[in-house]
Structure 1
Amino acid sequence: MVDKVFEPGVQAGRLDPETYEAHFADLHGPLDGHEALVAADRCYFCHDAPCITACPTEIDIPLFIRQIATGTPDAAAKTILTQNIMGGMCARVCPTEQLCEEACVREAAEGKPVLIGQLQRYATDHLQAQGVHPFTRAASTGKRVAVVGAGPAGLSAAHRLAMLGHDVVVYDARPKAGGLNEYGIATYKTPDGFAQGEVDWLLKIGGITVETGRALGADLSLEALRAEFDAVFLGMGLSGVNALGAEGEEKDGVLDAVDFIADLRQASDVADVPVGRDVVVIGGGMTAVDAAVQSRLLGALNVTLVYRRGRDRMNASRFEQDLAASKGVRIVTHASPKAVHGNGSVREIEFDYVGDDMKPTGQTLRLAADQVFKAIGQTLEGDGLPALERGKIAVDAHGRTSLKDVWAGGDCASGGDDLTVTAVAEGRDAAMDIHGALTA
């Protein structure tokens, strides 16, 4: 990071253009053809490979790596995309170090797994660069399905339903389709408009109409959708943000991390996004890490990520935690927000140190802050929804809800683990169950 004189307060353009370009470049550059062959050659092609069961979408990983090794990357891509139509995005954002690569036999034997995620990216990028779509639609069934939410779960469901011959209308509240992939992931993980490019490529299957700026509410009710369509899939994610529960949290400068990340993702120039000199991010998940790291990359001088439990309880992977530390983010654990101080705008935030039982120890911590980002979880919003379970839509193993002909998946549904790859799997599996119900 270049030397600069930092002015107090929140401002844009703290760094020079070259530094911004370097900071927001691709986190992991793609493998070239030779590197892919070398990486593929390390695979043992295990029978009953543990990496397959560790993948929420159950991609046949040894098969697609063998296909790369034999010089057929497009066949490898089809193997991947058959199970995970958003395999390109998942190759970039999936915590492979906790899933397939952690289960890799090479990891157990040598501490160095096969580069499954990067090989997946190599294959899917190779195919998508040609602009072709490897799947074709079945004959029309005459059935119509509504999908609410154009995120990973909704798009996965829509693609599978369209491929099976159903006509699908996807509704989304945002101006663009993509959901979390478009609005909620760090810019350096998916640069160069990849998220939108993947959506455009996915829609080439045909039979899918996307209507943006449409959310469940006054002009789009679940009751009306059920009356108009043969089935409905709910995959709208979570739009509400939990409160800190700290005195003074209404002060200026206390913001939602998801909005900060979305603003950065949609900015035509990241230099236009303002950031504080002293930034505090509250939370322990991927959103918290993304907000903290990007604050540093934008030029914040001091960034502290504060979590109420230990690092072993953080939802962010160890890789993400280490990435944050490597970018200069300070991580403070076992601290819970107590009060936000300042005259109208935040100037300091006070925390109680807490034990494993979450009870205050009597010790406190005060941090200077001109910007505080909340990343402490989101909540489901909407009227007339199916029965809920722990604040999310209750679903069975097939994604069925308490309402006839209504399915759900992704972050808005119970049972998931808030990962893109899991949402894709849930959308795909619900689509298969919807297809069975509609063609029975």
Structure 2
Amino acid sequence: MSETERRRDVAGARLPAEAYGELFAGIYPPLDAHEARVEADRCYFCYDAPCVQACPTDIDIPLFIREIATGNPDGSAKTILSQNILGGMCARVCPTETLCEEVCVREVAEGQPVQIGELQRYATDHLMARGEHPFSRAAPTGKSVGVVGAGPAGLAAAHRLAMLGHDVVVYEARPKPGGLNEYGIAAYKAVDDFAQEEVEFVLKIGGIEMRYDQPLGNAVTLEDLLEAHDAVFLGMGLPDVNRLGLEGEEADGCLDAVAYIETLRQSDDLSKLPVGRNVVVIGGGMTAIDIAAQVKLLGADSVTIAYRRGQDAMNASVYEQNHARKLGVTIRHWMQPEALIVEDGAVVAIDLAATTAGPEGLRKTGEMVRLPADQVFKAIGQAGDAGPLAGAGIDMAKGRIVTDETGRTSHPKIWAGGDCTASGDDLTVTAVAEGRDAAEAIHKALME
């Protein structure tokens, strides 16, 4: 055994076999009918409610809560799903604490908002458990739309287009649908294969054909789609991950956080996942929190998130940061990666440079910290791939698609939404809103 192998300790099965199921169960149990009614009664049913204004999908929150309070959870679910067809998943992963619940009058006055996310989950789960779809298709329009990507934006667009009477074909690069909801979120946020259950629910509207293993630019080209369909919606997300730009980034142990989460989400045996003793995560968004929390749950001794700015600048909410801390994750602000320490082709440590913000922006203070690291996870954002769109006349900005307020690109037959667009903010709920709104714009254009 080499000195590097003795210094590094990356292994699976750090926990008793029975512990994995317990640790990766849902964070909170769902509300039962009595709890939902009691919580719904806390809502003031505000006129011009601030929670509605804070919701990217414009759900009528006071109305759906009132419907729960009056014993009509199915009606409540239809109110939710009419604006957000992925309302079940959004109830589980949406950062309600920084959106609707943050502006709840109960939060402002008492510091205890109405549990809007939990009530939304109660209503949507109640309806989905019945196995019925609450919407029906309009008369056929004779128009066909191609949708690239079966993630939140693509599914929302496909459902709304099908409901409006169009025939839809969804081209998904992977063997399963769901996008971020299936491959990219912490496993304990959506258990029991909920992402696939929700896709099946969406497809019950009819009129949507799913084609898997169809990556754009390979199995199918944009030219093919424009020839086969009257309009095209692009919702393929971001396939690449930003690099640290450090020497040794290809070494063993310097990992892509998104890819690791995907492997974890698709694993049938979590004990086989390699986990280090000392883990460092670079980034300040939800991916950084998700990978740090899950690696800690998998048995890492020490997990540190290093972020180059202060807490207020982190994209991950304070709620999520605190959740990670409760699990034992350390978050160090004002620290950016300076160098990877590599021995025998493997990462053994990382040097972090202290930073500060001044009139000229972020700068280093000169202070350095070295942390031992069996694994270093990159979670500093994702990047688009403009290759499959080359020559299509689509305006791009930093690898992302430029759209107008309706989601239309510079090509008259192509719309886009979600993370792949320049306006995307990496939230499932925003992607749903953009997919839905682009579908309405496509319908209007085709009908004219």
TM-score of the superposition, structure 2-length normalised? 0.96
> Which residue of structure 1 aligns with residue 431 of structure 2?
423
> Which residue of structure 1 aligns with residue 3 of structure 2?
none
Runs of 5+ consecutive residues of structure 1 not aligned to the other structure: 1-5
> Which residue of structure 1 aligns with residue 334 of structure 2?
334
> Which residue of structure 2 aligns with residue 432 of structure 1?
440
Question: 1:249·1:339 contact (CA, 8 Å) conserved in 2?
Answer: no
C-alpha distance in structure 2 between counterparts of 1:142 and 1:270, whole Å? 47
Write the letter of the residue equivalent to 1:403.
Answer: H
C-alpha distance in structure 1 between counterparts of 2:33 and 2:44, whole Å? 20
1:389 Cα offset (Å)? 2.0
> Which residue of structure 1 aligns with residue 409 of structure 2?
401
C-alpha distance in structure 2 between counterparts of 1:98 and 1:214, whole Å? 36
> Which residue of structure 2 aligns with residue 348 of structure 1?
349
Structure 1 range deviating more: 345-354 or 217-226: 217-226
C-alpha distance in structure 2 between counterparts of 1:426 and 1:383, whole Å? 21
CA offsets 1:31-80 (integer angstroms, 9 cap, x no match): 00110011000000111111001000000000000000000000000000
C-alpha distance in structure 1 between counterparts of 2:265 and 2:82, whole Å? 29
- Which of 366, 374, 379 is the aligned partner of 1:375? 379
Question: 2:8·2:348 contact (CA, 8 Å) conserved in 1?
Answer: no
CA offsets 1:176-204 (integer angstroms, 9 cap, x no match): 00000000000000011001110011111
Structure 1 range deviating more: 231-240 or 359-368: 359-368
Write the letter of the residue equivalent to 2:363.
Answer: K
Count of aligned pairs: 435
Runs of 5+ consecutive residues of structure 2 not aligned to the other structure: 1-5
C-alpha distance in structure 1 between counterparts of 2:7 and 2:168, whole Å? 51
CA offsets 1:77-122 (integer angstroms, 9 cap, x no match): 0000000000000000000000000111111110100010000000
1:414 Cα offset (Å)? 1.6
Write the letter of the residue equivalent to 2:370.
Answer: R
Question: 2:406·2:437 contact (CA, 8 Å) conserved in 1?
Answer: yes
CA offsets 1:187-233 (integer angstroms, 9 cap, x no match): 00001100111001111111111111111113311122111110000
C-alpha distance in structure 1 between counterparts of 2:92 and 2:174, whole Å? 23
CA offsets 1:344-391 (integer angstroms, 9 cap, x no match): 100001111111132221111111111111000111013225211233
* Percent identity of equivalent pairs: 63
- Which of 354, 358, 365 is the aligned partner of 1:361? 365
1:8 Cα offset (Å)? 4.7
> Which residue of structure 2 aligns with residue 124 of structure 1?
124
Write the letter of the residue equivalent to 1:402.
Answer: S
1:272 Cα offset (Å)? 2.1
CA offsets 1:396-440 (integer angstroms, 9 cap, x no match): 000000111100000001212110000000000000000001111
C-alpha distance in structure 2 between counterparts of 1:347 and 1:182, whole Å? 32
CA offsets 1:268-322 (integer angstroms, 9 cap, x no match): 1222222111111100000000000000000001100011111110000000100
> Which residue of structure 2 aligns with residue 139 of structure 1?
139
Matched, 1:286 2:291: no
C-alpha distance in structure 2 between counterparts of 1:105 and 1:218, whole Å? 51
CA offsets 1:318-354 (integer angstroms, 9 cap, x no match): 0010011110001111111111112210000111111
Question: 2:235·2:418 contact (CA, 8 Å) conserved in 1?
Answer: yes
Q: 1:423 to 1:7 in 2, by over 3 A?
A: same
Superposition map of 1:180-199 within 5 A: 180-199=180-199
Matched, 1:112 2:120: no
Q: Runs (4+) of structure 1 moved beyond 3 Å?
A: none
Structure 1 range deviating more: 351-360 or 260-269: 351-360
> Which residue of structure 2 aligns with residue 245 of structure 1?
245
1:7 Cα offset (Å)? 9.8
Write the letter of the residue equivalent to 2:388.
Answer: D
> Which residue of structure 2 aligns with residue 264 of structure 1?
264
Write the letter of the residue equivalent to 1:384.
Answer: L
C-alpha distance in structure 2 between counterparts of 1:92 and 1:360, whole Å? 38
SS in 2 for 1:428: helix
> Which residue of structure 1 aligns with residue 389 of structure 2?
384
C-alpha distance in structure 2 between counterparts of 1:218 and 1:36, whole Å? 48
Superposition map of 1:35-50 within 5 A: 35-50=35-50
C-alpha distance in structure 2 between counterparts of 1:75 and 1:271, whole Å? 42
1:138 Cα offset (Å)? 1.0
Question: 1:251·1:340 contact (CA, 8 Å) conserved in 2?
Answer: no
